[in-house]
Amino acid sequence: MKKINTLILLLSISQAYATSDVETDLKKMQLSLDKNNPENVEEIFDNNDSALGKNWMALERLALSFERRNKFEKAIDVYRKLIVTFNQDANKAIVQNPKPLVAENLYTTNKLPYYYYKLAFLNAQLFVSSNKYMPAPERIKYKENAEGYIGLLKKVNADAGEIKLIEDQIDEKIKTEDQLAYKGNWYALMDIISWQDRVYLKNKATGSKTNLLSTAIGSSIGLGRKWSNSKYEFNMEGMYSYATSTINSEDPAVNYIQSSVPVSSIIVGPGMYYKVFSEKVFVGVQLPFSYRKGNWTLPAGTYEFENDIQLGAGYFFQVKFYIGNIAVVSRLGKIFPNPASHWSIGAVYDF
Contact pick of 98, 161, 207, 301 for other proteins (by CB under 8 A): 161
Contact pick of 248, 268, 285, 289 for other proteins (by CB under 8 A): 248
Q: Write the interaction track for other proteins spanning residues 14-53; mark x where CB under 8 A is met and - where it is not.
A: ----------------------------------------
DSSP 135: -
Using the rule CB under 8 A, is 102 a contact of other proteins?
yes
Nearer to other proteins, 140 or 276 (CB): 276
Contact pick of 22, 51, 268, 340 for other proteins (by CB under 8 A): 340
CB of 240 vs other proteins, minimal distance in Å: 21
Using the rule CB under 8 A, is 231 a contact of other proteins?
no
DSSP conformation letters of 18-78: HHHHHHHHHHHHHHHHHTT-HHHHHHHHHHTHHHHTT-HHHHHHHHHHHHHTT-HHHHHHH
The one segment of 18-26, 59-67, 77-85, 333-341 that binds other proteins by CB under 8 A: 333-341
Looking at residues 293 to 332 of the shown chain, list those that interact with other proteins (rule: CB under 8 A): 317, 319, 321-325, 328, 330, 332
The one segment of 9-17, 30-38, 74-82, 207-215 that binds other proteins by CB under 8 A: 207-215
- At residue 136's C-alpha, the angle toward residues 135 and 138, to 5°, is 70
DSSP conformation letters of 226-281: EEE-SSEEEEEEEEEEEEEEEEEESSTTS--EEEEEEEEEEEEEEEEEE--S-SSE
Q: Residue 324: which region, alpha, beta or left (left: phi > 0; alpha: psi -120 to 50)?
A: left
Contact pick of 40, 48, 91, 194 for other proteins (by CB under 8 A): 194
Question: Alpha-carbon Rg of the chain, whole angstroms?
Answer: 38
Question: Which one, of 323, 237, 316, lies nearest residue 278 by Cα?
Answer: 323
What gap in Å lies between CA 330 and CA 83, rounded to an integer? 62
What gap in Å lies between CA 50 and CA 195, rounded to an integer? 84
Using the rule CB under 8 A, is 91 a contact of other proteins?
no
The one segment of 81-89, 107-115, 139-147, 275-283 that binds other proteins by CB under 8 A: 275-283
What gap in Å lies between CA 25 and CA 31, rounded to an integer? 10
DSSP 339: S
Question: Which one, of 228, 223, 137, 125, lies nearest residue 173 by Cα?
Answer: 125
Using the rule CB under 8 A, is 164 a contact of other proteins?
yes
CB of 156 vs other proteins, minimal distance in Å: 12
Using the rule CB under 8 A, is 260 a contact of other proteins?
yes
Q: Using CB under 8 A, list all residues that contact other proteins.
A: 102, 157, 160-161, 164-165, 168, 175, 179, 194, 196, 213-215, 217, 246-248, 257, 259-260, 277-281, 283, 317, 319, 321-325, 328, 330, 332, 339-341, 343, 345
